[in-house]
Amino acid sequence: MVESTAPPGKVLARGGPISAMEFDLLGWPEDGPRLRLDYRRFAYAGKFVTAGTGKTVLRDPDGSLPPLDDDRPAPTGGPDSLPPLAEDVVAAVAFNEDRTDPTTLWLRYVTVRRDRRGDGLGPDLLRRTCEAAADRGYETVRIAANNPFAYEACHKAGFGFTGRETGVAELVLERPADAPAAVSREAYQSGLDHYRARDLDDPERSFLAAREGVGPPEVDGVHSHD
């Protein structure tokens, strides 16, 4: 891997309703960054406390936390080495390098604060993480999606289905680090067909029915290839 040209740091996020937010590269895997999230507000919160992955976040420094509809206790205690709860974070990604290919970065976990889901924060953070990976010298970025909603969000971030699955039946998507992937309608639909063959809940079935025969979503205003 080439020498880093993208050290940890902040830049202002751009565009749309998230224009006031900050993109923050907390560090690469070798930096051992830790991020403490409230498990009542974020899925996979425990995966971000460990130091084995790099991490990026979107912060909303001017936002306020909404009331919680959750009776579980607030997170407390833990080692002194843990950072305080990151209350301004609205989305986070954890990643590490592929074990056999040093030119490829895997995005392992993506989480968006529950009250901000559907605002486009996940795809925006994925795109910005890919930009940081390209600056770092990576050529390819991969991610695995375990449901059709995650699959759609990945396409909005410029990923395309590779035709492969992980050992736990997640669909593997990838893109060049420095540009969105060119995704055909056929490739996009082939991934959706994998989900259609599974035992799904009603929202997932409705989602897939609405996307029958259509092409992939646009990537930040860029039209995909049909």
* Per-residue model confidence (pLDDT) at position 9: 40
Q: Could you tell me the residue ranges of all domains in the chain? A: 1-67+81-138, 146-215+220-224
Q: b vs e for 52-87, b when ≥16 Cβ sit within 10 Å of the residue's Cβ?
A: ebbbbbbbbeeeeeeeeeeeeeebeeeeeeeeebbe
Confidence at residue 220, expressed as pLDDT on a 0 to 100 scale = 66
Low-confidence ranges of the chain (pLDDT < 50): 1-16, 221, 223-226
> What's residue 7's pLDDT?
40
Q: What is the pLDDT of residue 10?
A: 39
Q: What are phi and psi of 46, to 5 degrees?
A: -65, -25
Supply the pLDDT for residue 5. 32
Report the CATH architecture of 1-67+81-138: 3-Layer(aba) Sandwich (3.40)
Cα–Cα distance measured from residue 72 to residue 67, given in angstroms and rounded to the nearest whole number: 13
